[in-house]
A and B are shown apart, each in its own frame.
Chain A
Amino acid sequence: EVQLQESGPGLVKPSQSLSLTCSVTGYSITSNYWGWIRKFPGNKMEWMGYISYSGSTSYNPSLKSRISITRDTSKNQFFLQLNSVTTEDTATYYCARYSHILWVSLFDYWGQGVMVTVSS
């Protein structure tokens, strides 16, 4: 069974970088696409970006200057780095597998989510 688990600090200071890890078991990240989504207080959800099976990336233009998604295939992990955070980046961060088959694109497996608060 495909399982994803986020990890990382729950508190980040403003202007610093937010770094999260998504550990995947039951499936290789050298197949398919792997994304980050966040849910803000108040329930809004935002797709942040993904990394593909080949290592190429795609980011939400609203974050493009601050975001980086990378991976370590030897550990079957992928990572999120968000720079210059503000209090508006306070959210629960989810990693998910983004499956693409023909005309279907779906976040079909999700991690449990990790709450990150940006505060001094």
Chain B
Amino acid sequence: DIQMTQTPSSMPASLGERVTISCRASQGISNYLNWYQQKPDGTIKPLIYYTSNLQSGVPSRFSGSGSGTDYSLTISSLEPEDFAMYYCQQYDSSPNTFGAGTKLELK
């Protein structure tokens, strides 16, 4: 299985701050990388698909980039509703696997 190492595991941040979450795959995944957000109430929604494509309805302050084994999610200016858990997921090979998650917390 491809291992996804996601960092940091938690991140205190302030409103308006720019933050970046990283995911490193144990082997190249050819940009087959998605990002999800889980809210405190448990609801999960996709943010970014295929490394850098914004899912419909997701604010433009979210962006994704990367290639090979290294990928990142950036939030350009934190809003109150962005404090949540974030997960990366690779689908280059089966079984698809998730990163361990990053908890974005209010500083």
Residues of A within 8 A of B (CB): 39, 43-47, 58, 60-62, 92, 94, 96, 103-108, 110, 112-113
Contact = CB atoms under 8 A, between A and B. Distances in A.
A94 B36 CA distance: 14
Interface of B: 32, 34, 36, 38, 42-46, 49-50, 53, 55, 85, 87, 89, 91, 94-98, 100-101, 103
B46 A43 contact: no
Given A46-B98, A47-B95, A106-B46, 10 more contacts: A43-B100, A44-B100, A45-B87, A47-B97, A62-B95, A105-B91, A106-B49, A107-B34, A107-B46, A112-B43
Given A45-B98, A61-B95, A107 B42 contact: no
Given A43-B85, A103-B32, A112 B98 contact: no
A108 B55 contact: yes
A107 B95 contact: no
Nearest to A103: B50
Nearest to A107: B46
A45 B44 CA distance: 12
A92 B44 CA distance: 12
9 contacts: A43-B101, A44-B98, A45-B87, A45-B89, A47-B96, A103-B50, A105-B32, A113-B42, A113-B44
Contact of A60 (B38, B46, B85, B95): B95
A77 B53 CA distance: 30
Contacts of B38: 39
